[in-house]
Amino acid sequence: MKKYSVVWAREAVDDVKNLIDYLTRHHSNSAEKIFEAIVAKADSLASQPERGRKVPELAGLTELKIREIFYKPWRLIYRISTNEVRILMLIDGRRSLEDELLRTLLIE
């Protein structure tokens, strides 16, 4: 079975840090557990990255090989390349992906 390296984009790392900061302030008992579960979910992509579903909002961009897996309610969005799975972002699944992408593009 082929193994992929799992790499986190800087923006995805920032997304996780922001989530954990929020959880630490508001739900301190669960922050560490959620952090560990999200990292484990991402690491599991090293052996089966194709198991995630195609991102519905990006259905017309199939050549990008962008997929997602869930640690509900959060969505881990990633891109598969030859030997790598790059985690692109972590977003709250209750939010609009289009709004999150626009927010990311507008940040200078």
- For residue 101, the model assigns a pLDDT of 62
- Classify residue 65 as left (phi > 0), alpha (psi -120 to 50) or beta: left
Q: What is the CB neighbour count within 10 angstroms for residue 87?
A: 25
- For residue 100, the model assigns a pLDDT of 66
Note down pLDDT in tens along the chain; length 108 residues: 789 999 999 999 999 999 999 999 998 789 999 999 999 999 999 999 999 999 888 777 667 789 999 999 999 999 999 999 999 999 987 776 666 665 655 555
Residues 31, 36, 39, 44: what is their CA dihedral angle, to the nearest 10 degrees?
-140
Q: Beta 5-8 vs 53-54: how paired, if at all?
A: unpaired
Domains, in order of start, for the chain: 5-106 (3.30.2310.20)
Query: By the 8 A CB rule, do 86 and 79 touch?
Result: yes
Residues forming a β-bridge with 89: 77
